[in-house]
Amino acid sequence: MSKATFNPTRFNKSKNTPFNEVMDAHLSRRNFVKRGLGLSAMTAFGGFGLSACGSDNDDNSTPETPTTPEAPTQSSAVLGFESIPGSLTDSVAIPAGYSAYVLAPWGTPLNSKAAAWKDDGSNTAEDQANSVGMHHDGMHFFPLNDAGDDGLLCINHEYIDQSALHPTGPTYDTDGKRSVIDEIRKEINAHGVSVVRIKLESGMWEVVENDSYNRRFTGATVMDMGGPLAYSSYLETRYSPDGSQARGTLNNCGNGYTPWGTYLTCEENWPGYFVNKGTLTDEQTRIGISTSDTRYGWDHLAGDDDERLDEFARFDVTPSGSSAANDYRNEANGHGYIVEIDPYSPNSRAVKRTALGRFRHEGCVFGKLEEGKPITFYSGHDSRFEYLYKFVSDAVWDAADANSTNRLTVGDKYMNAGTLYVAKFSEDGVGEWLPLTLDGVTTDGSTLASSFDSQAAIILNTAGAADLVGATPMDRPEWAAVDPFTGTVYLTLTNNSQRTDSTNPANPRLNNNFGHIIRWDEGDAATEFSWDIFVFGSPDDGDADTNLSGLTDLNQFASPDGLAFDARGILWVQTDNGASEVTEETNDQMLAIVPSTMVDADGNQQVVSADNQTQLKRFFVGPNGCEVTGFAITPDYTTIFANIQHPSNWPYSDKADEATPAGVTVRPRAATVMIRKDDGGAVGV
Ligand code: FEO
Ligand code: CA
Ligand code: CA
């Protein structure tokens, strides 16, 4: 979630050892050398052993068989820009030799059903349903040709700013209830995902209006359910009595994509959109369904004469009918998932992949692929003291599936059946993935079968099941990213100011205001991993116990959030910071680093420290008030796309680095920013 909408409630009431305590113990003896690299390198490159044998083959009696070139274990990328200073303006900041332009801001029409965006907030719900949504977040670029000048941008819209969305904010009646139907519909339509056809014309990406690929998924779009909960009684509603469908996707924060060309959008802070005014179920209590009101009051016009198909009533999940088929007690059960979208098939429905768990999903990333091996997806639960999960497919990867045109059928194959695990971090730099299955062992020596009667029941209350097996509570897991060279997985832990439970008083991160990035390598068994901490956020003038990574004014950051590797092995780190020690120095930003090249003489991966911190470079700073989130890059690396969410007084013009003049106020618009080199070359190097 954005810091602007973060729910500070601690929903996890379990007594599992917080990650803080584990980290404290680890920190006290860490040596900044990563364990398990050799293991990772071997497992990351399936052909490694074979190709080495082939090239060393001295048996001349048989013809040499062509071998696959050995995959490199290090990136060759070298960051080719100077780290830029912090910035506190109504403008973006970029390195010399680069340009940044605004693309597809909130309200950009996608087709002729939408009127042009109006700067007085008066566009209708129908306009919004046919225009780019609000508060851009996760994003991915899907090419349409090999020339790198045509493609589809999928963009998440996490939440809304009601005051910017409407002329003068939301309208209430004298009872404090929402009173204008079109306003609520507009809000629902400003959520979800946009699929936008873009083309590169004269060095500028432009939205292609009325393109047949353009489409919107909103908070009301009908979606199919896949995996253990599909067709279960848990999803039975008056709208979908057979439990096969759910309506809408909400609070789409981080994203992912699949090896077969589909987009994954992640439902994060959705529980607050629903209210149960009666007695919460255990599962609803654990995840945090509201008890007083819905987030934006979308249920207030339930029963209105103009309501269509219970479009507002469904947000009130209080049991009211004689059975689940007569009310919406199960409506929220259709939310909290990874949702798969095939952007290349404009008539396809989105599918909610329930097998990957139900919680406040931040992002979703797949592990390094190996032919003939299962696919792993990682996803964090962004709330204080929540957990990190992975899903391992039953089906093994067949590279031919990358070229299938039945992409959602391929999704069925890899994402509907498999094993969901939750992470337990141990003090000595190793960890264990604990299966969330009926035979998963609980901390009291029993199994999850004692508490759940089906896998669907486990999925419905994923976090509750994770409590029982003894998962490690973390400092708000946000995005994960996988190094394409080493297979190492990186995860942002954005912050946790409630960290008071450390038993190590010497540990400087007791109150984790600045966050950190952890990483791990999978072990030989699906249940093993090894981990260390890659970098700690900090102000540059933090004391030695705070600035553990030796950050300077040129790379100080806090609250890492968005995270992505590009195929060159460059790791892009985005921030959503609220810590004043850093916000007084710079707005939110995007930094870059090439982790796989940071190795010692023995090839061990290093973490960021005072000795090497110049490797971490600030590439981009957003305008005042914003969060920088969402990363996409064209296959030729000549354009990076990054999103600006909730700016306060931006954009002033199409030129993203043109500051809004002093004294001028604009209606703020979240937008994608396209960043290109002036010479048209590859960005970042
Ligand atoms: Fe939507 Fe956890 O950031
Ligand atoms: Ca985020
Ligand atoms: Ca965040």
Helix (H, G, I), strand (E, B) or coil at 19: helix
Per residue in 136-155, pLDDT (tens digit) is 999 999 999 998 999 999 99
What is the mean predicted confidence (pLDDT) over 516-534?
Answer: 94
* Residues 6 or more apart whose Cβ sits within 8 Å of residue 144: 150, 151, 152, 197
3-class secondary structure, 257: strand
Strand order in the sheet with 245-247: 245-247, 222-226, 351-353, 338-341, 263-267, 252-257
Give the tens place of pLDDT for each residue, 664-682: 999 999 999 999 999 999 9
pLDDT of residue 44: 31
User: From the CA of 159, which ligand is nearest?
Assistant: 1
The ligand 1 atom at the shortest distance from the C-alpha of residue 253 is 1
Closest-approaching ligand to the CA atom of 495: 3
* Amino acid 38: pLDDT: 34
- Among the ranges given (70-74, 157-161, 265-269, 567-571), the one the predictor scored with the smallest mean pLDDT: 70-74
Q: What is the whole-number distance in angstroms between the Cα of residue 192 and the centre of ligand 3?
A: 18
Q: How far is the CA of 134 from the centre of ligand 2 (A)?
A: 15
d(CA 357, CA 373): 21
Which has the closest alpha carbon to 466: 486, 437, 495, 427? 437
Burial (CB count <10 Å: 0-12, 13-18, 19+), residue 511: middle
Q: Does residue 208 surpass a pLDDT of 80?
A: yes
Residue 280, pLDDT score = 98
Question: What CA–CA distances, in Å, run from 498 to 20, 389, 612?
Answer: 10, 22, 31
Does residue 40 have a pLDDT over 80?
no
On whether the CB atoms of residues 94 and 657 are closer than 8 A, the answer is yes
pLDDT at residue 68, as a whole number: 67
Please name the residue ranges forming H helices in 28-106: 37-44, 48-55
The rounded Å distance from CA 442 to ligand 2 centre is 31
Ligand 2 mean position, distance from CA 472 (Å): 21
pLDDT the model gives residue 6: 72
What is the share, in percent, of the chain residues with pLDDT greater than 90?
Answer: 85
Q: Nearest ligand, CA of residue 381?
A: 1
Q: Return the pLDDT at 13.
A: 84
Q: Indicate which atom in ligand 1 lies nearest the CA of residue 1.
A: 1
Q: Is the predicted pLDDT of residue 606 greater than 50, yes or no?
A: yes
From residue 210, how far is each of 108, 111, 124, 142, 218 by CA, in Å?
11, 4, 18, 18, 18
Residue 519 φ then ψ, to 5°? -145, 160
Which ligand 1 atom sits closest to the C-alpha of 5? 1
Question: How far are the Cα atoms of 40, 301, 367, 425, 520 from residue 484, in angstroms, in the given order?
Answer: 12, 49, 9, 23, 14
Q: What single DSSP character describes residue 349?
A: P
List the residue whose alpha carbon is closest to atom 3 of ligand 1.
Answer: 1
Alpha-carbon distances of 53 from 58, 59, 61, 530, rounded to whole Å: 10, 11, 16, 28
Model confidence at 62: pLDDT above 90: no
Query: What CA–CA distance (Å, rounded) separates 234 from 116?
Result: 42
How many A from CA of 576 to the centre of ligand 3? 5
Q: Quick: pLDDT tens for 287-335.
A: 999 999 999 999 999 999 999 999 999 999 999 999 999 999 999 999 9
Q: How far is the CA of 491 from the centre of ligand 2 (A)?
A: 12
Q: Is pLDDT above 80 for 439? A: yes
Q: Whose CA is nearest to atom 1 of ligand 1?
A: 1
pLDDT higher than threshold 90 for residue 84: yes
Instruction: Please tell me the predicted confidence (pLDDT) of residue 49.
Output: 25
| Residue 4 pLDDT | 67
Q: CB-based burial of residue 187 (10 Å sphere; 0-12 exposed, 13-18 middle, 19+ buried)?
A: buried
Predicted confidence (pLDDT) per residue in 86-131, tens digit:
999 999 999 999 999 999 999 999 999 999 999 999 999 999 999 9
User: What DSSP line would sit under 561-597, residue for residue?
Assistant: EEEEE-TTS-EEEEE----HHHHTT--SEEEEE-GGG
Condensed to tens digits (0 to 9), the pLDDT of residues 621-638 reads 999 999 999 999 999 999
Q: How confident is the model at residue 71 (pLDDT cuts 50, 70, 90)?
A: confident
Mean pLDDT across the chain, nearest whole number? 91
pLDDT surpasses 80 at 648: yes
Residue 49 alpha carbon to ligand 1 centre in Å: 40
How far CA 79 is from CA of 291, 474, 607, 608, 667, in Å, comes to: 50, 31, 17, 15, 36
**Considering Cα of 137, then 138, then 142, then 148, what sign does the dihedral take?**
positive
Q: Which residues surround ligand 2, an ion (CB under 5 A)?
A: 253, 561
**Residue 683, CA atoms < 13 Å, CB-side half-sphere:** 29
Whether 45 shows a pLDDT value over 50: the answer reads: no
pLDDT number for residue 65: 58
DSSP string, 588-629: SEEEEE-GGG-B-TT-PBBPP-TTTGGGSEEEEEPPTT-EEE
- For 129, 230, 250, 289, the CA distances from 311, given in Å and listed in that order, are 15, 21, 14, 19
Q: What pLDDT score does 503 carry? A: 43
Q: Is the pLDDT confidence value at 159 over 60?
A: yes
Q: Give 505's pLDDT tier (boundaries 50, 70, 90).
A: very low
**531 φ, ψ to 5°?**
-145, 160
> Looking at ligand 1, which residue's alpha carbon is closest to its atom 2?
1
Phi first, then psi, for residue 629 (nearest 5°) are -155, 150
Q: Which residues does a 6 A CB cutoff place in the pocket of ligand 1?
A: 1-2, 158, 253, 268, 362, 382, 478, 561
Find out whether 351 and 411 touch, Cβ atoms under 8 Å.
Answer: yes
Region 185-200 average pLDDT: 99
Can you give the pTM of this predicted structure? Answer: 0.93
Measured CA to CA in angstroms, residue 453 lies from 96, 281, 441, 524, 672 at distances of 60, 16, 15, 31, 45
Position 499 scores a pLDDT of 67
CA distances from 299 to 133, 173, 310 (A): 21, 14, 9
**Rounded distance, CA 439 to CA 603, Å?**
40
- Given the CA of residue 362, which atom of ligand 1 is nearest to it? 2
